[in-house]
Amino acid sequence: MPGKRKRDEEEPYSQTVEGDSHHHGTTVFVSNLPYTATSTDLKTLFSDVAPVKNAFVVLEKESKVSKGVGYVTFAMQEDAQACVERQTIDMNGRALRIGWAGLKVSQSANSNLLKLYE
């Protein structure tokens, strides 16, 4: 099996299959957050599930008000997988939805895609 960089070069735009944890990282997307939830609240809640490296609530740029979604990065991929398999977790009586975080596409990758279709 080729190294990670070589594999990425061979399949730069491949999509992961739903439920295929092999290609997922350690970050999960959390939605249905209360608008009062903070990044610290999110990290504290998910630290009860497994060790968390980072957690943050997404805020509106101008008003700094929560958008009701956030991201949690776990120390290990297996912990993230177990969290996603739970599908929900309770925060103050509210069921938070959990799924895999989408892949970020870099600006250079966007430029390369545009060149393909010119």
Q: What is the pLDDT of residue 15?
A: 38
The Cβ of residue 31 has, within 10 Å, a number of other Cβ atoms equal to: 13
Instruction: Spell out the residues 6+ positions from residue 89 whose beta carbon is closer than 8 angstroms to its own.
Output: 45, 46, 49, 83, 95, 96, 98
- Cβ 99 vs Cβ 29: under 8 Å: yes
Q: What is the pLDDT of residue 47?
A: 92
Instruction: Spell out the residues 6+ positions from residue 54 whose beta carbon is closer than 8 angstroms to its own.
Output: 43, 71, 72, 73
Q: What is the pLDDT of residue 116?
A: 47
How far is 97 from 87, CA to CA, in rounded Å?
6
The structure's pTM equals 0.68
Q: What is the pLDDT of residue 105?
A: 53
- Cβ 53 vs Cβ 72: under 8 Å: no
User: Residue holding tokens 């279709």?
Assistant: 117
pLDDT tens across the length of the chain (118 residues) = 555 554 444 443 333 334 444 568 899 999 999 999 999 999 999 998 899 999 999 999 999 889 999 999 999 999 999 999 988 899 988 999 999 998 655 555 545 544 444 4
How far is 43 from 12, CA to CA, in rounded Å?
32
